[in-house]
Every structure is written in structure tokens, then in C-alpha cells.
Amino acid sequence: MCYLHRQQVTKIRQSQEKAKPPRVPPVFQRLSSAEVKFPNYADVPSFMESGTVWASSLTRDNGGMTQRQLMRATVETPIGRMMMASDGEGLTELCLEDWWWATDHQAVLDSNRESDSEPDVFRITREWLTAYFAGERPGSDQVPPLHPAGTPFQHEVWNLVAEIPYGMTVSYGELAAELAERRGGGRMTAQAVGGAVKRNPVTIIVPCHRVVGSGRAFGGYGGRLDIKAELLELEGVDLARFDLPNL
């Protein structure tokens, strides 16, 4: 093959490679749809129950600021005490009480009297967590209703994270490639996806701990990396795959 012909073949192959769609992670190819879907919060009706303790919370939702009345409670777990928040119908937050986004609400929680009547979603969440930490794999019928506040882009990312199966991991880059694929092509940066993953307000149930870095990188976590490692180990993930920091 002459030199000029080889150059032409090389250019053709390069153009074909550029035309290929982003690689779809195998973990998503095995799933037909997400088990958990987040509604547009503007479509969720306001709900307040007499006898409950509500805290006013100003949150950013779908690009704007929305005043929301939230009820808060705690639940004890093997990894520590967790904070739950609800609008009365769905779970809006679930995180360890010492995580960075929980600190703003701790004073409100500490000052509240005990509720005479909790939303049913708190009972469902406690049951889900009990089953999870017992080594079970709670099904979609056991997931509490989820009403987290977020932008449309964050909801897109959280929906993808909710699809990651128990005991499996996906990188930020793979999430970005999958989101770009579902949008019909184009580019999506791992950094943008990582920012949305960090803002996930419903941890464990929406398993952001299953999102890792590329190669042997362990990636970050909104809480503590030792908690991320503990959750993955509980699910049977081989942590020897990663270069773990000193936890």
C-alpha cells in the first residue's frame, strides 16, 4: 500500500472514530428504565399535616428559589445517625447528620419538639435502611417516594445514579457518556456530572456511593470516603480495585 493511500485510509478511520456515539456503560445496557424517578417539584402538591413539626426551608428547585415546608427526623444506622426530611409525601433529604449539607438544618432539628404524627415516608425509609444494612437488596416496591429539590440537570443525573445496580460501580465519565447518549449525542463533561452527583440530597437510596473515578481512582463523596468504602464493601465490591486514600 502506497504512502498516500495509507494516509487516506487513516483519515477515513479517524473520521469514523469521531462519528461513533459515546460508549454506553454495560451497567446501563442491562436496565430498561430507572427504578426511581424524580417528579418535577412544581407538580408535587403542597401537603401539611396537623400535629407535625415543620421547618421552613428555602431551596433551589428547577433553577428558582422555592419556599418549602419540611419535616425532619433522625434514624439510627450502622454508619451513624442519619437525618431525614420530608414535605409530607416524599423524602426530600437523607444524609448523615454530620455531613456538610446537614449542618444548616441541625439547629432546626434540635429545637423541634417530637412530632405527634410522622409522615408515612419516614417509616418506609427506616424499613428500607434496615433491609439494606441487613445485607438485603430492597426492591423498587420498597423505595419511599422521592421528592428532592434540584435543577432539571441534577434530576437527570440523579435518575441515572438511581439505575446503578447493587454491588456495581460506574465512573463519572461513564455517567457523562450515558447522559449524552440519552440526550441524542453531543458532549457532557464528567466534571458537570460530578457536581450534580455531589449535590444528591438522598444518599444511599440514590446510590451516589457507587460512582467512582476512572481507572483505580476512588472518586469523592459528599460525606466521608470511609463511609463510601464501607457501603461498597457491604455490597460486595472489591475495594482492591481502587487506590484508596488513608481512610
Q: Map the chain to HEC letters.
A: CCHHHHHHHHHHHHHHHHHCCCCCCHHHHCCCCCCCCCCCHHHCCCCCCCCCCCEEEEEEECCEEEEEEEEEEEEEECCEEEEEEECCCCEEEEEECCCCCCHHHHHHHHHCCCCCCCCHHHHHHHHHHHHHHCCCCCCHHHCCCECCCCCHHHHHHHHHHHHCCCCCCEEHHHHHHHHHHHCCCCCCCHHHHHHHHHCCCECCCCCHHHEECCCCCCCCCCCCHHHHHHHHHHCCCCHHHCCCCCC
Tell me the catalytic residues.
208
